Amino acid sequence: MCNVEDQDLLPPSKAKNASRTCIKCKEVAQIVLRADNCYCRSCFIAYFTHKFRATIGKSKLIRSNEKVLLAFSGGPRSSAMLYLVHEGLSENIHKKLRFLPGVVFIDDGAILQLSENERRNYLEFIRTTVSKTGFPLFCESLGKIFPTNQDTNIQSNLLSSDLSNTTRSDATSSSNFDLDTLIKRFKNDELKIVQVFEKLPNSTAKEDMLHILRKKLIQQIAEANGYTKVMFADCGTRLAVKILSDIAQGRGSSVAHDVTFADERNQAVTLVRPMREFLTKEVANYLTLKSIDYRTRLSLTTMKPVKSSIERLTENFVTDLQASFPSTVNTICRTGDKLSVGDTSKIDADAICPLCDSRIDTNNSLEGKTTSKTTSKICQNTADSCCGEGDGSCNRIARINLTAKEIEDRLCYGCRLIFHSNNWEMDDLPQFLIDAIEKQLRRKRLKEEIEEFLLD
Amino acid sequence: MPVTCTNDCNRRAKLKRPKTAEKLCLECFYQAFEDEIHRTIVNNKLFQPGESVAVGASGGKDSTVLAYVLKLLNERHNYGINLVLLSVDEGITGYRDDSLETVKRNQQQYQLPLKIVSYEELYGWTMDAIVQKIGMKNNCTFCGVFRRQALDRGAMLVKADKIVTGHNADDVAETVLMNVLRGDIARLRRCTAIMTGTEGALPRCKPFKYTYEKEIVMYAYFKKLDYFSTECVYSPNAYRGYARAYLKDLESIRPSSIVDIIHSGERMSIKKEVKMPEQGTCSKCGYISSQSICKACVMLESLNRGLPKLAIGKTHKAKVVTICSNAFQRIIYRFKIFHELERDEIKFV
């Protein structure tokens, strides 16, 4: 995650700023955004709030009384977003926001290896912050993406009453929100996911997987509770990092989806990014001026060396470059804006990666990779070769009747990299993924049966 | 403990392949390296039998290995192409003169014809002279623009049908990153193409598009190929340095990153409504250009007029100067005619 640090804030040297005035109202400036762009406190807040509402308004995407879920992590960006939405809904405001917000928090403490105490404190913070706004709160552990009972229907699991009742904290009923039972339930859900993450080959794959699963779970919760939009608080700096790290991880075809205002890959739930016009620095300024409380987000690579993962390296690269070339983030984001998501209406359901919902981009030419693989014979997928041999792990594969090769073939280029060179088994995959692949394969078989009767 | 080659040849492994991390013996490495390039050539139909192909040869590792491998594959797989070495002499003392010596030795070793074109004969300026004018900063812009055209002109002189360059996977990946960082959407779209300029101009291709720089170095090292390795004496492009460092770090985290970036570059599509520069021809020299006057002409004009800084900054400023000078001349000309007409009329009256 991007670092928001206090050193971005003014005033570093008072003598220099003494003569500076706000470019709007000519009062004494408090904030320097860039070079001579100085703002006073109230003008900056007005500018920031306006930009946020303008980004939402410009898109004309969110209708009035639509249910919108805010993805809230407690970190700086989503705290700012929560505050902005809360403020935008209050009665006496000009250009009031007109949607019905809910808040979702995904606890990934198990993967970050936080202690029970840390997790309780964090949840407590989330609960108090959200209860101030009066929005409904959904808390769920990331482990929920792997259903504990081997029931294949994940939807029913999410719809189960305990989610909507015990974890929902309205302003009135927040007292029955018992953290201890919640954590206990979370722990129960998490046995599987911890195992799966341990098996992933490196931090790069883990981070990538974490993002995908978190997004997936949020979408599932949104869908199960009748929300049609989810707001993510990605700011411009974060998106610039995302663009570069996507490219570095072979996800060129989904870059456009990952940075546009509205990501409509999932038909039921659209992801929106209303904070995309801000820099990390601006968010930090806003938080300080409004004295909004937030928690520093930990990630898998916090306190690790720069080169511990692609995302961490990219973040460092962009931040450093931004320091010497202040237009870096903007240029990268504008490049991302010019990329096309392609014609989404024409995509066949079979041509979608079941893990990340992007279009499959591995069809014809995988030259760079496959060429080198075949010439040097490293294509020895252990799971593939052992399948059907009759030992324990294979029985499980036989039950679902999918081979590792079949699964890999269904994934997009970027998602294949997550599992690459990893001895994974069917059990290590989230159920939604297996379901989706099975469905695709069934459709494929059906299509083969009727092939000869199909025109064109 | 000696490691055996993972390719089941029972020989001792001598190296770890940078691209796939497998341990190979020299023979298997050569085989894999050459086959990969052969496959790239065949899959992309880079060459047609009977074609004359100019190899852009700088004397550096990439082009030396390229010339060597292409000659080898041409004989092994009967591509039926005629190879010519083509070098550009930028006129950089202490760098290009030495590397050209290497190219000349390569010509002897590989028995290929060699053609050298120089900036001096094409433009009337050596890089040394240009650097004297504009200083150590930004001179790479001149060199790069001029070299691109010089290669094309040289290839036309030797009647080549195609130019091949030694751009490797690292170079392509780096260019993808650079174009994202610079917001150069037109180049971002075409930089991953293995063959460019198929319509009109001389096609150029990069047979090393998927070949890792490290493997090229390894190949040259074990084959004991004669190549020249010195940095250009003039300052390297600083901004590109950031991208390069980032790429190297990525490679150390996940070796497949380089190919992954190329894959990303190939799969990014540009929105239809984004305006793209249209490729036309330069009104001055007839060379392909997206502007009315090509960059090389603008730069040459600015050099000749003693205002070299103009060409590096905002393009439109420099173009205005060029166009203005033309327009100004036209105005003077018309004025003269008008004047003469007037005189005639006066006489007439």
The 10s digit of each residue's pLDDT in B2-34 is: 788 887 788 888 888 888 888 888 999 999 999
Q: How confident is residue B333, by pLDDT bands cut at 50, 70 and 90? A: low
Round to whole Å and give the CA distance between B34 and B74.
Answer: 11
Is the pLDDT reported for residue A401 higher than 80? no
* Record: contact A375-B24, CB cut-off 8 A: no
The SS3 of residue A102 is: strand
pLDDT at residue B330 in the model: 63
Contacts of A372 in chain B (CB under 8 A): 19-20, 32, 36, 210
pLDDT at residue A282 in the model: 92
CB pairs under 8 A between A and B: 148
C-beta separation of A80 from A277 below 8 A: no
Round to whole Å and give the CA distance between A241 and A132.
Answer: 32
CA distance A248 to chain B (A): 5
* Record: contact A339-B269, CB cut-off 8 A: yes
Q: Is B56 annotated as a binding residue?
A: yes
Q: Which residue has the higher pLDDT, A366 or A276?
A: A276
Sheet holding B195-196, edge to edge: B114-118, B82-89, B52-56, B162-164, B204-205, B195-196
* Record: contact B36-A310, CB cut-off 8 A: no
Reported as a single tens digit per residue, the pLDDT across B309-320 is 666 655 555 555
C-beta separation of A394 from A368 below 8 A: no
pLDDT at residue A177 in the model: 58
Q: What is the mean pLDDT of chain B?
A: 84
Kindly state whether A368 is in contact with chain B, defined as any CB-CB distance less than 8 angstroms. yes
* Record: contact A250-B35, CB cut-off 8 A: no
Percent of all residues in chain B with a pLDDT value above 90, rounded to a whole number: 37
* Interface test mutation site (partner B, options A239, A367, A370, max chain B beta carbons within 10 A): A367
Q: To 5 degrees, how large is the angle CA A107–CA A111–CA A113?
A: 100
Which range (A204-218, A418-432, B109-123, B174-188) has the least confidence?
A418-432
Average pLDDT over residues B277-300: 80
Is the pLDDT reported for residue A340 higher than 80? yes
pLDDT at residue B315 in the model: 52
Contacts of A252 in chain B (CB under 8 A): 261, 263-268
pLDDT at residue A379 in the model: 31
Round to whole Å and give the CA distance between B209 and B205.
Answer: 9
Q: Where are the beta strands (DSSP E) in A28-126?
A: 31-34, 37-39, 67-71, 100-107
Nearest to A340 among B20, B261, B269 (CB): B269
**Which tokens belong to B276?**
């793209």
C-beta separation of A426 from A456 below 8 A: no
Kindly state whether B321 is in contact with chain A, defined as any CB-CB distance less than 8 angstroms. no
Round to whole Å and give the CA distance between B232 and B60.
Answer: 11
Could you tell me which of B268, B170, B253, B213 has the C-alpha nearest to residue A314?
Answer: B253
Q: Which residue has the higher pLDDT, B175 or B238?
A: B175
Q: To 5 degrees, how large is the angle CA A294–CA A300–CA A302?
A: 65
Cis amide bond preceding A11, omega within 30: yes
Q: Is B58 annotated as a binding residue?
A: yes
Contacts of B209 in chain A (CB under 8 A): 368
Q: How confident is residue A294, by pLDDT bands cut at 50, 70 and 90? A: very high
* Record: contact A376-B253, CB cut-off 8 A: no
A residues 195..214 contacting B (CB < 8 A): 202, 204
Reported as a single tens digit per residue, the pLDDT across A21-31 is 888 888 887 88
C-beta separation of B208 from B62 below 8 A: yes
* Record: contact A252-B254, CB cut-off 8 A: no
* Record: contact A375-B185, CB cut-off 8 A: no
A residues 225..254 contacting B (CB < 8 A): 243-244, 246-253
pLDDT at residue A395 in the model: 35
C-beta separation of B254 from A418 below 8 A: no
Nearest to B274 among A249, A338, A365 (CB): A338
Is the pLDDT reported for residue A6 higher than 50? no
Contacts of A313 in chain B (CB under 8 A): 246, 249-250, 253
Q: How confident is residue A154, by pLDDT bands cut at 50, 70 and 90? A: very low
Average pLDDT over residues A129-139: 90
* Record: contact B40-A243, CB cut-off 8 A: no
* Record: contact A367-B40, CB cut-off 8 A: yes
Nearest to B250 among A313, A335, A371 (CB): A313
B264 to chain A: closest CA residue: A252
B16 to chain A: closest CA residue: A376
Which range (A92-101, A112-121, B123-132, B156-165) has the least confidence?
A92-101
Reported as a single tens digit per residue, the pLDDT across B189-247 is 888 888 887 566 789 999 999 999 999 999 999 998 888 877 777 766 667 888 999 99
Residue A94 gets which letter from DSSP?
Answer: T
* Record: contact B210-A248, CB cut-off 8 A: no
A residues 372..431 contacting B (CB < 8 A): 372-373, 375-378, 413-414, 417, 420
Which range (A315-329, A345-359, B133-147) has the least confidence?
A345-359
Q: Which residue has the higher pLDDT, B37 or A371?
A: B37
pLDDT at residue A416 in the model: 85
Is the pLDDT reported for residue A94 higher than 50? yes
Which range (A100-114, A154-168, A324-338, A360-374) has the least confidence?
A154-168
A251 to chain B: closest CA residue: B264
Is the pLDDT reported for residue A312 higher than 90? yes
Residue type, A49: T
Nearest to B271 among A314, A328, A340 (CB): A340
B residues 122..151 contacting A (CB < 8 A): none
Is the pLDDT reported for residue B275 higher than 50? yes
Average pLDDT over residues A181-193: 83
Contacts of B17 in chain A (CB under 8 A): 376
Which range (A98-112, A129-143, B267-281) has the least confidence?
B267-281
Reported as a single tens digit per residue, the pLDDT across A32-55 is 877 677 888 888 999 999 999 999
C-beta separation of A96 from A31 below 8 A: no
pLDDT at residue A244 in the model: 96
* Record: contact A307-B43, CB cut-off 8 A: no
Contacts of B43 in chain A (CB under 8 A): 365, 367, 371
Most confident of A20-29, A348-357, B71-80, B92-101: B71-80
Nearest to A249 among B209, B260, B265 (CB): B260
pLDDT at residue B226 in the model: 84
Q: How confident is residue A426, by pLDDT bands cut at 50, 70 and 90? A: low
B31 to chain A: closest CA residue: A375
Is the pLDDT reported for residue A381 higher than 50? no
Is the pLDDT reported for residue B165 higher than 90? yes
CA distance A422 to chain B (A): 14
Is the pLDDT reported for residue A248 higher than 90? yes
B260 to chain A: closest CA residue: A250
Q: Is B62 annotated as a binding residue?
A: yes
Kindly state whether A45 is in contact with chain B, defined as any CB-CB distance less than 8 angstroms. no
* Record: contact B268-A365, CB cut-off 8 A: no
B22 to chain A: closest CA residue: A378
Most confident of A67-76, A92-101, B4-13, B336-345: A67-76
CA distance B289 to chain A (A): 23
* Interface test mutation site (partner B, options A310, A346, A376, A420, max chain B beta carbons within 10 A): A376
The ipTM assigned to this model is 0.81
* Record: contact A372-B183, CB cut-off 8 A: no
Nearest to A375 among B35, B242, B263 (CB): B35
Domain ranges (residues) in chain A: 45-341, 354-453
Kindly state whether B43 is in contact with chain A, defined as any CB-CB distance less than 8 angstroms. yes
* Record: contact A248-B257, CB cut-off 8 A: yes
Q: How confident is residue A10, by pLDDT bands cut at 50, 70 and 90? A: very low
C-beta separation of A255 from A356 below 8 A: no
pLDDT at residue B335 in the model: 58
Q: How confident is residue A435, by pLDDT bands cut at 50, 70 and 90? A: confident
Q: What is the mean pLDDT of chain A?
A: 78
B64 by Cβ neighbours in 10 Å (0-12 / 13-18 / 19+) ranks as buried
Name every residue whose Cβ is closer than 8 Å to that of residue A184 and which is 6 or more positions away in sequence.
none
Domain A45-341 sits in CATH 3.40.50.300: no
B222 by Cβ neighbours in 10 Å (0-12 / 13-18 / 19+) ranks as middle
CA distance B290 to chain A (A): 19
Pairing outcome for strands A100-107 and A137-141: parallel
pLDDT at residue B42 in the model: 93
Q: Where are the beta strands (DSSP E) in B33-104?
A: 52-56, 82-89
Kindly state whether A307 is in contact with chain B, defined as any CB-CB distance less than 8 angstroms. yes
Which range (A371-375, A382-386, B162-166) has the least confidence?
A382-386
pLDDT at residue A156 in the model: 33
Could you tell me which of A51, A95, A101 has the C-alpha nearest to residue A72?
Answer: A101
Is the pLDDT reported for residue A170 higher than 50? no
Is the pLDDT reported for residue B95 higher than 70? yes
Kindly state whether A351 is in contact with chain B, defined as any CB-CB distance less than 8 angstroms. no
